Structure 1
Amino acid sequence: MTSTSPDTRRRLLFLLLMVLVGLNLRPALSSLAPLLVRVQQDTGLSPLAIGALTTLPVLCLGIFAPLAPWLSKRLGAERTLALALGALIVGLALRGIPPIPLLFAGTLLVGAAIGVAGTLLPALVKRELPGSADLMTGVYTMALCLGGALGAGLSIPLANLLGSWQASLISWSLLAAAALVAWIRLMPRSPQAGGLSPPGGSMRQLLTQPLAWQVMLLMGSQSSLAYIVFGWLPTLLQTRGYGESEAGWLMGASVMVQLISALGAPWLARLGRDQRPALLLVLACVGTGLWLLLQGPYSWRWAGVVLLGLGQGGSFSLALTLIVLRTANSRLAGKLSGLAQGGGYTLAAMGPLAVGVLLQLDVGLPTVTTVLLLIVAAAAGFALLAGRNRRLDVDDDGRLITR
């Protein structure tokens, strides 16, 4: 009988922890969207204020993501992730406490925590599982999608069961607490103090590389669509005439479908010389799915749900996979992750805010749909650049180059 080697056990343990942490990085965002109508009715917030509530966490993802490499260098990646999970628990609890300012403060803290944790994980995957980092990123993305689906699908039932939307929001802190306990007890300990990997180029050098900007813009444009769906799809569906529960379940089903393409997209990306065909395919699914749900025949709504889910799960998985494919080591992956997710999510925050402004101006659903399809087109343009087979590396003189 063969025994499992310590390295294999370490990798399996890290994989399980990665999935548990990933499960917590989307319910904080997706659980609020189905409750927005109730929140607006109870608080009297304007559509613009509700738009700010959906934009704030995404903006914080962008603002705080670049802090992850800095904190990791000083505290270690493992302790930094534990700190982020602790902040996530506090933020989730604050969102359900009655004064309205605490709703916004908790949402801000949630965004900051997810920004740091989400930036660290791709670099940790590159460090712990270097031989299959792209495929394991798909597993991590699948966990994100499952968490998003649970947040969207269970939000209304939890509010009905627990008696209020506040209690529904607070309940997600229990899952985050379980992840924090597991991470503290079982997290991998790197023999390298503080750092994630061998030295790489500086952030200043990274900013001079067009490839880094291309990955960031792709991340930002496709994430903008994702957070518009998280923040506004149930409201847009209700505007079209769907009931509150049905709108929430349609969104939840779409996010659940993301599990398939989140796991499968990195395998699809390995079939060609680069990732452009795979990226264009999933973005085409996003555009078609959005049109079917918002403008297409009612009888085609489930086709729209499936296509939107396949497209968004695949596009997000591939965008994260590019971070590890476009870098030569985990230190560079951490820096590119900070830039791509920091700058990308800051751009992505403009999407939910723009939809809030459009609804405040009482524009019709066809106009909103057109705006969403224009974002899909922009993402496709950036995909043609970022999807090429190139990689950031450090030459013998310590300079950052694109190979």
Structure 2
Amino acid sequence: MTGPSPPHAPPAGRTLLVLGILLVAAALRAPITAIAPVLPAIRADFALGTAQAGLLTTLPLLTFALLSPISTLLARGCGLERTLFAAIALVGGGIAVRSFGPAWCLFAGTMILGTGIAIANVLLPGLLKRDFPDRIATMTAAYAVTMGIAAAGMSALMIPLAHATGSGWRLPLATAILFPAAALAVWLPQLGGHTTTVDGSPPPRDGRVWRSALAWQVTAFMGLNSFLFYVLVGWFPSILADAGFSATDAGALHGLMQISGAAPGLLLGPIVARMRDQRLVACIVSLATVAALLGLLLLPGWAVLWSVCFGIGNGSTLILSLMFMSLRATSPHQAAALSGMAQSVGYGLAAVGPPLAGLLHDASGGWHVPLGLCVALSGVMVVAGVLAGRSRTIAARHDPRRPDGRPRAA
């Protein structure tokens, strides 16, 4: 999926590129996670039902699922740098539309920013492969840590900002625009480039990936991780409020959960790089998620512990699922096909999570049934992680022009 690396940039330009990448990463999760702490106020303002409120988390996921397979086509026509710039501009525009106006603006703005995040989400890893081929693990870790810290900071600051400004939910939610604004400012010098993420060959259409059991195991691992994450991101403050926590404490724990999810990025890369088989680590981090959800179901008063445990477990499984997209593939094109499959199907599954949890809450009158479902699905994720962690790759397509019949990467 990557073409030849560009000439080595001067140190100043390289530093600006790294800063731009990190700021883009900061803008990819904070606008979504920031809404959960102020969701009760939004619901009261617009008289939204639980399922309607869940759509505010689901709409970006639906755009991720729909746009992930075609995002690389946009970069082929417009250039990678310009497409990323336009994507982050959409994120900023969506935040502005979402924060001011009637209820339809809330949903329209959410779809706009989801579109921008979906495009950038797919293209940013390609940029890292192209410009930092020898530092992918380091840059991926920095990218994950930055994304987690930005998301955690926004979650923790929402309620204090609302109290400090006395403006309700609108102004605090609008402050998320600072991330895309900063990213756009730093990214401007990159617009001189007009490069793509591919080498001119057709986009990957590896049908073998969609028929591979291993590819579906990787997809299930990522999809279940995303399902659980977005259910917790969308409803964690509400779950804690029902357990007796104040809005301020619930928002702080929401932030703690997310910043804990950034921590594994500092350690997991070097550990996995030394392993040929990732079954054990996939099992351990998945079980941490199981323990956190079971604890939240049975002992919600220990929410500080469960916040950290879920953040570490879920953050680790996310990083592993991203690594599996490369480790389980036999070629860059096959990795691109697997990435498109896993993100499209995975985020489609994740989109079901928040509204389903809301509907189950309304039907059962509490959070025990939704959390019980999450515990069960996290158990399935353990199995998917162990299967996806085996030292195997998806079968390469055989080239009929090779008389020896040896496989050539597709």
Residues 303, 212 of structure 1: alpha-carbon distance in 2 compared, 3 angstrom cutoff? same
Distance 2:280 2:401 in 1: 33
In 1, Cα distance between equivalents of 2:191 and 2:295? 44
Instruction: Report if aligned partners of 1:54, 1:231 keep a CA contact under 8 Å in 2.
Output: yes
Verify the 8 A CA contact 2:286 2:378 in the aligned structure 1. Answer: yes
Secondary structure, in 3 states, of the residue corresponding to 1:25?
coil
SS in 1 for 2:148: helix
Question: Could you tell me which of 209, 212, 224 is aligned with 2:212?
Answer: 209
1:72·1:80 contact (CA, 8 Å) conserved in 2?
Answer: yes
1:234 to 221, 233, 237: 237
User: 2:190 maps to which residue?
Assistant: 186
Structure 1 residue ranges without an equivalent (≥5): none
Cα deviation, 1:138-179, whole Å, max 9, x if unaligned, reads 221112211210221111122223312111222211221110
Equivalences for residues 18-167 of structure 1 within 5 A: 18-162=21-165, 163-167=167-171
CA offsets 1:311-332 (integer angstroms, 9 cap, x no match): 1221111112222333455554
Structure 1 CA distance for aligned equivalents of residues 359 and 126 of structure 2: 36
Residue 265 of structure 1 pairs with residue 268 of structure 2: yes
The structure 1 residue matched to 2:173, chosen from 144, 169, 175, is 169
Distance 2:171 2:44 in 1: 16
> What RMSD, in angstroms, separates the aligned Cα atoms of the two structures?
2.6
Partner of 2:385: 383
Q: TM-score, normalised by structure 1?
A: 0.90
Q: 1:64 to 1:159 in 2, by over 3 A?
A: farther
Matched, 1:349 2:357: no
For 1:179, give the aligned amino acid: A
Structure 1 equivalent of residue 305 of structure 2: 303
Conserved? CA contact 1:201–1:398, under 8 Å: no
Amino acid at match of 2:357: V
1:117: how far off?
Answer: 0.7
Aligned residues: 396
Distance 1:195 1:116 in 2: 13
The 1:56–1:281 alpha-carbon spacing in structure 2 relative to 1, beyond 3 Å, is same
Which of 287, 291, 295 aligns to 1:292? It is 295
| 8 A contact 1:214–1:385 mirrored in 2 | yes
So what's the TM-score if we normalise by structure 2?
0.88
Q: Matches of 1:15 and 1:377 in 2, distance apart?
A: 38
Aligned-partner Cα distance in 2 for 1:145–1:273:
27
Bigger shift: residues 194-203 or 251-260: 194-203
Give 1:363 shift: 3.9
Shift of 1:338: 2.3
Whichever residue aligns with residue 372 of structure 1, its letter is C
Are 2:204 and 2:334, in contact at CA under 8 Å, matched by a contact in 1? yes
Report the 3-state secondary structure (helix = DSSP H, G, I; strand = E; otherwise coil) of the residue aligned with 1:182.
helix
Contact in 1 for aligned 2:17/2:187 (Cα 8 Å): no
Alpha carbons of structure 1 residues 306 and 62: separation in structure 2 relative to 1, 3 Å: same
- Residue 98 of structure 1 aligns to a residue in which SS? coil
Equivalent residue letter for 1:58: L
